[in-house]
Structure 1
């Protein structure tokens, strides 16, 4: 009976581990390519509970030959913002602000940790996130840690499912710059998404 149950539930387990593939068309991606002025950087983004401080989500912004946001298993999306398997393209300061605002509310705040890296390392990170593929739910930190530990200077990072673990490892990098972002909106991402949609439609 036990073997039968394992076989019975195995397909369900595989389905739960899957991730939806998203692939924006070439024209939309090309039209939105953006490189932020200044040095090449990696920015770890951690969403934390305002009460407990526990981490809830992990993202990675990469400023290389273009600036993208790696948002593994994330829910930030808009029809005008190109995405390919958790990689968001065209991350202008406006889109970056939308992303931070979407994740920051009365119950959660956002921490950005930025470190300057060589152009080669930034480009390696860009290629890594573009090749990684769609990430299953609850694997945002694990996938990000795997990408980071494949880069020169980050080989000592351990892989964890816990956002605070990766946040604390990133904090040990010499020269890291940390910024907290907070908002007092209601605890409802749908409200934030609707406000972002309205701002995009209004051209703000």
Structure 2
């Protein structure tokens, strides 16, 4: 295969898969990650996020929230939503408190995209295994968000039916066939630039921190 054919194939894969360019910065330190760890009291579960173009219906990105007994994280391969207050290591986001989880979902839902949110309860052992695999998997190259997530899921007990795919919508449709999955869609009308939402969220967080320090 010639260079031109290879380049066209790569471009086609990126266009079809739709994952963002990886915007990961410098990995956080183990101390920062340990300090941010958040244990959610709810059931152990996995939540598959699929970002879908409102005009074309094509899938644009895939990520996976993992609520394990040890902590709750988001495996966000080649993702573009990054917060200074949320430590990251190899495409795994830590410290996913209810506020951060809500922001993460809403930041992806805007005028041009909506988010398909699919959740399934799993055993503590499966959730912990998913967390360990996510930590071992990253960082992920651009356009491989669905491929890396489907590969991870397929290795978990009870998820053997998941086949490797580069397409976010295909993975979501496979996930929907698992027993016990809940499925909802989130629509927002925010500006298309996610950087605006990120800046506003961080400004609110900084303001809340100042109020706490002054006892207000």
- In the other structure, the counterpart of 2:127 is 122
Kept in 1, the 8 Å contact 2:146–2:168? The answer is yes
- In the other structure, the counterpart of 1:184 is 189
Cα distance in structure 1, aligned partners of 2:25 and 2:198: 21
Deviation at 1:30, TM superposition (A): 1.2
Q: Which ranges in structure 2 are unaligned for 5 or more consecutive residues? A: 8-20, 210-216
- In the other structure, the counterpart of 1:45 is 49
3-state DSSP of counterpart to 1:203? helix
1:150-202: CA deviation from partner (whole Å, max 9, x where unpaired):
10111121111110000000100111111221110121122222212212212
1:108-145: CA deviation from partner (whole Å, max 9, x where unpaired):
11111000001110011000000112000110000000
Taking structure 1 as the reference length, the TM-score comes to 0.88
- In the other structure, the counterpart of 1:62 is 66
1:11-26 paired onto structure 2 within 5 Å: 22-26=26-30
Deviation at 1:21, TM superposition (A): 6.7
Aligned partner of 2:114 among 109, 122, 127 = 109
Cα distance in structure 2, aligned partners of 1:202 and 1:100: 22
Size of the aligned set, in residue pairs, is 194
3-state DSSP of counterpart to 2:117? strand
4+ aligned runs moved over 3 Å, structure 1? 18-22
Taking structure 2 as the reference length, the TM-score comes to 0.83
3-state DSSP of counterpart to 2:120? strand
Aligned partner of 1:80 among 78, 85, 88 = 85
- In the other structure, the counterpart of 1:202 is 207
Q: Which ranges in structure 1 are unaligned for 5 or more consecutive residues? A: 10-17
Deviation at 1:85, TM superposition (A): 0.8
- In the other structure, the counterpart of 1:30 is 34
- In the other structure, the counterpart of 1:14 is none
Measured on the aligned residues, the alpha-carbon RMSD in Å equals 2.3
- In the other structure, the counterpart of 1:12 is none
